[in-house]
Structure 1
Amino acid sequence: MRKSRTTKSWHFGVDCEIDRIYKAEELKHRNSFQKIIDENKAIMRKYEDNFASERVKYLVKKLPTCILFVGMGFATLGWWVSFIIQFALVSVEALSQRFLGWQFYKGFGEFCTLNYWISASIFMLVIFIYFWHNDETEMPEPQLIPESVPPDRKKIEDDVLTEAGKQISMVTAYKKRILEEYILVASDIHEVDKMEGVEFEHFLADVFRRKGYKVQLTPASGDDGVDLIIMKAGRKIAVQCKRYSGTVGNSAVQEVFAGKSFYDCDEAMVVTNSTLTAPAVNTARKLGVTLWERSRLIEELAQTQASIEFEDYLERYYA
């Protein structure tokens, strides 16, 4: 039930974190979206102003060429266009005056002057339009700011869950390390390593008594490979105690297994502050001999006779 409540709390916390990040990203997106639009408008206005300025410079630069074209064109084509227009109007004037009695112009000079300026204006307009449409002004494309992308809730959820998983793994590893350190300190295994053989046997006798066993010590010599006989719940176990600085060999397993029958025990066990060789472990597995190597002994000592409580250990070393 407690685990269920913890799981619900964890999911609730993750959902709250996802909502918090999503709302923050959404607000950031809204603010940046309008800001980007305004900045892009400013960039385009500046681009258009620069383009217009460059275009004017181009036309001013082409002005001498335009004047040259106008002069040459007017000297040739302009005069002929003017002459044709004048001839047509004069014909219309003569016919109108003869048959209708109308007179449009007072004299041919006025007529020539008007058509001269009309022809010149039309030709200049044509030349201007030509240069305007054949504008060679080159401007690089404006570098607009990319639009802000709306937040993706699924991606945020995946990122939060991934980060939460990393944090959980870190916390789990940290808790495991602290617990291992505590077990090592609480077991006083380093003090055990300093004991003599007989002292180690009496020490383990007290450990098994705390675990609820009845304990019988065998003679110090001629024990037939059995140092302790422990009894609990109708089970009788032969125990060989090995306080070693090196590894324990195969003989210890074989001796306690043989001593089990001698003392009429149901099981056999080897307890050591060290480790056993690979052949000894294989033999114990085949013969059904229980092994308490260094790591198992540390755990049992921390449970039965901890030299310091876990809370006191945390306060002393991690507060």
Structure 2
Amino acid sequence: MNFKNLFSKKEDKKLLAIERRESYYIDSKNVTNLSTMSGENFEVFLRDLFIYDGLKAELTPKYKDDGIDIIVTRGKLHTAIQAKRMDIYKNYNLVDKEVVNSLVGGARRRGIERTCIITTSIFTEAAQDIAAQEGMELIDGRQLYYLIAKIRPELLAEAYFEKLGYIKCPECGTGILKKREGRQKIPFIGCTNFPKCRHSMKITEFETRYIKQ
């Protein structure tokens, strides 16, 4: 079974509503920064993505993890995942065969049959050859965005929307933050859904939170 087929099972999308609301790393801002965020944050982002799709996903301890960053469970099926956050445009970082061998060995020691490496970069030819021999699933940077689009398509749309300079209202979730003027002609940032949504903030606060990042 292809590992990517584990995702977007409609019957599993009922649980963990609280985690979905409280998740930070799964927002659209981070979708545009996957290759530059820290490795630890990338692991959390992937875990949150799996949880959102109704899967059980747990991060492994930072030390002595056997090359495994996340263990995803669906029913009795366990998958050992290594998350490799790399910036392909910086020193042309690629995932090599050593990473594949590390995950293969770690999964065997833990008795986990299914393995997968997810990266923001791409894999060397040697890594692909060994993975094919071991039956390992490889998800490169391009395929990762397809996976995100399959599970949370609105994130990619929102990320593009924000790149155009539009910021979604954090209170109502549907309006856009826009510069407005009060009764005394004092400018502030308000929601386009006013008066249904009365979210507002000072311009300096808006610039600090959304512009100067």
- TM-score bracket, shorter-length normalisation: 0.5 to 0.7
Aligned counterpart in structure 1 of residue 67 of structure 2, from 225, 229, 241 = 225
Alpha-carbon deviation of 1:228?
0.6
- Distance verdict in 2 for CA 1:258–1:302, change over 3 Å: same
CA contact (8 A) 1:226 1:238 kept: yes
Give every structure 1 segment of 4 or more consecutive aligned residues whose post-TM-superposition deviation is greater than 4 Å.
186-189, 307-311
Rounded Cα–Cα distance in structure 2 between residues aligned with 1:301 and 1:187: 13
CA contact (8 A) 2:31 2:156 kept: no
Aligned counterpart in structure 1 of residue 150 of structure 2, from 277, 280, 303 = 303
TM-score (norm 1): 0.38
Q: Which has the higher helix share?
A: 1
Unaligned stretches of 5+ residues in structure 2: 1-27, 88-92, 165-213
CA contact (8 A) 1:196 1:243 kept: yes
The 5 Å alignment of 1:90-239 reads 189-239=31-81
Give per-residue Cα distances to partners, 1:18-42, cap 9 Å, x unaligned. xxxxxxxxxxxxxxxxxxxxxxxxx
Q: Which residue in the other structure is 1:253 paired with?
A: 100
Alpha-carbon deviation of 1:212?
2.0
Give per-residue Cα distances to partners, 1:70-102, cap 9 Å, x unaligned. xxxxxxxxxxxxxxxxxxxxxxxxxxxxxxxxx
Task: Report % sequence identity.
Answer: 28
- Distance verdict in 2 for CA 1:190–1:224, change over 3 Å: same
CA contact (8 A) 2:47 2:70 kept: yes
Report the residue type matching 1:249 in the other structure.
D
Report the residue type matching 1:231 in the other structure.
T
Aligned counterpart in structure 2 of residue 287 of structure 1, from 134, 144, 153 = 134
- Distance verdict in 2 for CA 1:247–1:309, change over 3 Å: closer
RMSD after superposition: 2.6
Alpha-carbon deviation of 1:253?
0.7
SS at match of 2:115: strand
Rounded Cα–Cα distance in structure 1 between residues aligned with 2:124 and 2:156: 34
Report the residue type matching 1:268 in the other structure.
T
